[in-house]
Amino acid sequence: MSDSTGWSTSRERRPGVIPLRPLMLGEIVEGAVTTMRRHAGVVFGSAAVVALLSALVYYAADLWLLDATSPAPVIDADAPPEVQLDQAVSQLQDALPQFGVLGLITLVTQTFLAGLLTVVVGRAVLGQSIGVRAAWEELRPRLLPLLGLTAVVTALVMVGTAFFIVPGVWLYALLSLATPALILERGRVGAALRRSVALVQGAWWRVFGVLLAAILVTWVLSYLIQWPFNLAIDPQAFARGYTPEELLLQELGGAVARTVTVPFSAAVTALLYIDQRMRRENLADELARASRSE
């Protein structure tokens, strides 16, 4: 008996969270959810700690760097068009440092968490468990290269997005597998970038489709999780300036959402990397041998 891909399903090899063969979209999503469920302690424990720490940093930045308690600047609807344009440019210039601060916080916290969870997924595919300490020991030698890699990819995607968006989207998918390549192959930054390009070439649309599906799922989950928190915040808060209590509620909602969505996104990306290698490099046999040797 075989499925539409021609792979045998009667004696399917599945030592861990996914079958060892090319995966369908649903199997990647299922594998991500199964990883989170089977390894809930390390996944949600580490995610919650990182999310809460980042929420505290965001909160401090809101209060003392970004001045979120002050009323938001508005564009005068009655002003001449050239004045409105000057006001819009001024608002953008004022917002750029804020985006830089938030981007730096996100880069550091989410990079660490994505790397840690990639290690967990690598073990989960083999049916192995791993604790936070062991995952950290495996990640630690590659943490600085991972930060550098994330900074490079982020910069390239931002520059590409500035040129009519399409180049940024293309680069986002093309370089999306660099993080799991760096972590699971224990390579260097340049090698990880080249590996991602090699694995995505010829399959860009499929990779982009899986990533887009993951983004949509995380967006819906994030909205639903943060919705109760947002209900307690005055809808006019952005215009009049947030109170410290409203900022705290907002950041707590974001922290709870990130505790769920960041692990899911990291797991999908890691499984997509493994899937591409099974499709192109017969990684399934290597994984099967590794699972039996444990």
Region 261-268: mean pLDDT is 94
144 has pLDDT over 70: yes
8 has pLDDT over 60: no
Average pLDDT, the chain: 85
Q: And the tokens for 22?
A: 């090319």
d(CA 270, CA 188): 17
> Could you tell me the CA-to-CA distances from 74 to 85, 124, 233, 282 in Å, in that order?
12, 50, 20, 57
- Cβ-based neighbours of 74, under 8 Å, separated by 6 or more: 239
What residue spans of 189-243 are helical by DSSP H? Answer: 189-200, 204-231, 237-240
- Which tens digit of pLDDT belongs to each residue from 56-95? 988 888 787 666 666 656 665 666 777 667 666 666 656 5
**Looking at per-residue confidence, does 73 or 223 come out higher?**
223
How large is the C-alpha radius of gyration of the chain? 21
279, 110 Cβ separation under 8 angstroms: no
255 has pLDDT over 60: yes
Q: And the tokens for 104?
A: 């730096």
d(CA 224, CA 226): 6
Question: How confident is the model at residue 5, as a pLDDT?
Answer: 41
171 has pLDDT over 50: yes
Question: How confident is the model at residue 103, as a pLDDT?
Answer: 66
Question: How confident is the model at residue 58, as a pLDDT?
Answer: 83
If you write DSSP's letter for every residue of 154-167 in order, what string do you get? HHHHHHHHHTTSHH
120 has pLDDT over 80: yes
Residue 151, Ramachandran bin (φ over 0: left; ψ between -120 and 50: alpha; else beta): alpha
Q: Compute the residue count for the chain.
A: 294
pTM of the model: 0.85
251, 58 Cβ separation under 8 angstroms: yes
> What pLDDT band is residue 6 in, cutting at 50, 70 and 90?
very low
